[in-house]
């Protein structure tokens, strides 16, 4: 009886850990999705003319990206050791093998944002800002993001 209870307890603990890990993976994915919502859903669409140019909305999107990018280092602190169920992209194990290098990819995004902040006046300057930021996102994705499907 005692033994059965211990086994059950271990199983429950194990399930809890798995859930916590999935939760961490989801938080990491949600942060990237939030960034993408502004980068692709606003800046890219506006720079392509899919939505009308709106300086205020562009400035807001950039401010949101700036706030979210500042959360990357902390949000990716723990290795969830699993991908979000059904996700298209996952994190490479390299993130946690080389967390200092991973973190070093954040500052260039912040610099690209600082360089364009408050300087967007038309579609041309928006397009340049979008590309400058996106190139730095890709510098991290190249090494640390994995396509799952
Ligand atoms: C320091 C590294 C790093 C930086 C900088 C970074 N990302 Fe990511 N990104 C990742 C990793 C790792 C993943 C894969 C794990 C995940 O999806 O949570 C990812 C995933 C994504 C995804 C896929 C989400 C999904 O599952 O559909 C998008 C979209 C994305 N990033 C957009 C951006 C944009 C836009 C920027 C720049 C403004 C950016 N990222 C900056 C590391 C980074």
Which of 72, 86, 92, 145 best tests ligand 1's pocket when mutated (most atoms within 8 Å of CB)? 145
- For 1, 77, 110, 139, 146, the CA distances from 66, given in Å and listed in that order, are 56, 19, 7, 17, 23
| Model pLDDT, residue 67 | 98
Is 104 within the bounds of a domain? yes
| Model pLDDT, residue 7 | 67
Is 28 within the bounds of a domain? yes
For the chain (149 residues), the mean pLDDT of every run of 10, in chain order, is 65 70 95 98 98 98 98 97 95 98 98 97 98 98 97
Q: Residue 145 belongs to what H/E stretch?
A: strand 145-147
Is 2 within the bounds of a domain? no
Is 125 within the bounds of a domain? yes
Is 4 within the bounds of a domain? no
- For 28, 77, 84, 90, 92, the CA distances from 19, given in Å and listed in that order, are 14, 17, 11, 17, 20
Instruction: Write down the pTM of the prediction.
Output: 0.91
Count of the separate structural domains present in the chain: 1
| Model pLDDT, residue 2 | 64
- Which protein residues are within 6 Å of ligand 1, measured from CB? 28-29, 32-33, 35-36, 39, 65, 69, 72, 87-91, 95, 102, 105-106, 109, 133, 137, 140-141, 144-145
Is 12 within the bounds of a domain? no
Here the CATH number for the domain that contains residue 42 is: 1.20.120.10
Is 17 within the bounds of a domain? no
The contacts of residue 3 (CB under 8 Å, 6+ apart) are none
Measured between its terminal Cα atoms, the distance across the chain in Å is 46
Q: What residue numbers bound the domain in which 85 lies?
A: 24-147
| Model pLDDT, residue 20 | 87
Q: How many CB atoms lie within 10 A of CB 136?
A: 20
Is 11 within the bounds of a domain? no
């Amino acid at each position: 009886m005692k033994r059965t209870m211990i086994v059950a307890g271990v199983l429950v603990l194990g399930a809890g850990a798995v859930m916590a890990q999935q939760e961490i993976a989801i938080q990491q994915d949600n942060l990237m999705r939030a960034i993408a919502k502004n980068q692709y859903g606003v800046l890219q669409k506006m720079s392509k003319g899919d939505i009308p140019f709106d300086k205020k909305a562009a400035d807001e999107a950039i401010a949101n990206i700036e706030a979210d990018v500042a959360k990357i280092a902390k949000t990716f602190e723990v290795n969830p050791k699993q991908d979000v169920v059904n996700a298209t992209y996952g994190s490479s194990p390299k993130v946690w093998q080389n967390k200092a290098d991973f973190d070093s990819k954040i500052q260039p995004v912040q610099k690209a944002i600082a360089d364009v902040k408050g300087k967007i006046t038309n579609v041309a300057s928006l397009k340049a800002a979008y590309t400058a930021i996106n190139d730095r996102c890709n510098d991290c994705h190249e090494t640390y993001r994995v396509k799952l499907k």
